[in-house]
């Protein structure tokens, strides 16, 4: 008989200095709701609806820590000028009884922005930039110590700005092929100094970032790390590596890990657990993004969705650490959620399911529903490029007019 009974997914939990009312997190998903580089009224409406629907903590995705850190031109960026718009969002979330997390990130060489302060996009290593093939930036630049110190400061400053904007947590993005992932991954990191080679060395810079953020806001906010527990591609990190990464992030003091997987360029199906359909063909005016989407459809292996598709990998992380872990990957029924809790995970992070049904958590709690309507078709990913931003194809599209208006506009 277990000495530690399985907690209910509807029970509260402490994450660092923060207490969540239940175990459900809205995972970060790029909503395409920042047309002017700040949260739109449509983005406010979405996150308010998610917490009104029962989600304890909703994550605002891809908040760049600097202008150079953006992936796309209209990406959210945490600067003093944007704070009123972020504050409008966090105020709306708090009015609905929920909490908000800002996902802070730097794209590194995974960027389509040519205007920058450096000659080439920064990364762990220099040389050929395969992402840059689509935007004419064919080379990337290895970061030196001065670059690293600047980025560390950028992350810490962004975390402090997030606190000023009313966020309750920050999520440091260490996965999917963005800058910190480019240090962690042997696919990108070819350095021969103290930041390359062994996994411990490859984690050295991401750990510096984590420490700086903890020092900046860790007493006031939950500091979360999202990373790829397996990269899902030959030569990349395995789930065994993912377990070691978790140990190092636990040692550094992270309050929670969100267990994602895959890489944007090399293994997108590992991330989503299923292939992108032929119907995923929203008309994209930006030719660079249109080309990227076309290549992705042609090169993706055919993978059929199955619930809890990352569980086998996530178990290895659970066995390696004692800290709180949020499982992410194919939980779309009450039985799956209960299984995750029984396996010792502390929280459930969901993306597509909550885009399909903003009130899914309340439906589960009341017994009104057990199974999500989400079919894991992945068409919501392409919907981020529509005028109204991301929405489920089974429901109504986003409001294009609201999506044109900055959140704090009168």
**Six token digits for residue 339:** 């299984």
Residue 122, classed as helix, strand or coil, is strand
Give catalytic residue positions. 178
**Six token digits for residue 60:** 């605002």
Written as one string, the DSSP assignment of 248-286 is HHHHHT-SEEEEE--BTTT-HHHHHSSPPPTT-----SS
CA–CA distance, 79 with 70 (Å, rounded to integer): 12
Residue environment code for 233-244, b if the CB has 16+ CB neighbours within 10 A, otherwise e: eeebbebebbbb
Residue 181, classed as helix, strand or coil, is helix
Q: How far is CA 207 from CA 69, 277, 305, 318, in A?
A: 18, 37, 34, 20
The beta strands (E) that lie in 120-195 are given as: 122-123, 127-128, 139-142, 169-173
DSSP letter, residue 333: B
CA–CA distance, 123 with 116 (Å, rounded to integer): 14
CA–CA distance, 28 with 35 (Å, rounded to integer): 18
CA–CA distance, 331 with 138 (Å, rounded to integer): 38
Place of tokens 């080439």: 120
CA–CA distance, 261 with 273 (Å, rounded to integer): 9
CA–CA distance, 35 with 21 (Å, rounded to integer): 32
CB 255 within 8 A of CB 16: yes
**Six token digits for residue 304:** 């059929």
CB 397 within 8 A of CB 32: no
Place of tokens 């962004």: 158
């Amino acid at each position: 008989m277990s000495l530690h009974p399985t907690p209910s997914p509807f029970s509260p939990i402490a994450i660092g200095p923060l207490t969540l009312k239940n175990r459900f997190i809205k995972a970060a998903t790029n909503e395409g709701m920042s047309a002017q580089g700040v949260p739109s009224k449509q983005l406010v409406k979405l996150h308010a609806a998610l917490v009104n629907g029962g989600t304890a903590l909703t994550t605002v995705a891809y908040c760049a820590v600097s202008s150079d850190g953006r992936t796309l031109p209209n990406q959210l960026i945490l600067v003093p000028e944007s704070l009123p718009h972020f504050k409008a969002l966090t105020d709306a979330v708090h009015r609905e009884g929920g909490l908000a997390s800002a996902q802070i990130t730097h794209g590194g060489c995974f960027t389509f922005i040519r205007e920058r302060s450096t000659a080439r996009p920064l990364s762990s290593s220099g040389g050929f930039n395969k992402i840059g093939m689509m935007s004419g930036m064919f080379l990337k630049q290895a970061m030196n110590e001065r670059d690293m110190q600047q980025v560390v400061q950028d992350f810490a400053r962004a975390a402090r700005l997030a606190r000023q904007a009313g966020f309750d947590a920050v999520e440091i993005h260490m996965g999917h092929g963005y800058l910190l992932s480019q240090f962690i991954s042997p696919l990108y990191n070819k350095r021969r100094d103290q930041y390359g080679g062994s996994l411990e060395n490859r984690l050295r810079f991401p750990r510096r970032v984590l420490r700086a953020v903890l020092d900046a806001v860790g007493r006031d906010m939950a500091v979360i790390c999202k990373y790829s527990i397996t990269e899902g591609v030959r030569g990349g990190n395995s789930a065994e590596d993912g377990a070691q990464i978790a140990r190092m992030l636990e040692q550094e003091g992270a309050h929670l890990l969100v267990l994602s997987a895959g890489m944007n360029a090399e293994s997108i199906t590992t991330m989503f657990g299923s292939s992108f359909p032929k119907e995923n063909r929203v008309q994209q005016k930006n030719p660079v993004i249109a080309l990227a989407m076309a290549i992705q459809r042609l090169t993706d292996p055919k993978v059929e969705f199955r619930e809890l598709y990352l569980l086998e990998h996530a178990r290895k992380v659970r066995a390696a650490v004692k800290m709180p872990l949020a499982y992410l990957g194919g939980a779309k029924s009450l039985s799956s959620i209960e299984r995750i809790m029984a396996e010792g995970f502390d929280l459930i992070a969901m993306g597509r399911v909550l885009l399909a049904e903003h009130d899914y958590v309340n439906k589960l709690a009341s017994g009104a529903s057990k199974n999500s309507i989400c079919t894991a078709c992945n068409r919501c990913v392409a919907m981020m490029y529509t005028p109204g931003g991301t929405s489920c194809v089974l429901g109504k599209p986003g409001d294009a007019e609201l999506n044109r208006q900055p959140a704090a506009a009168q």
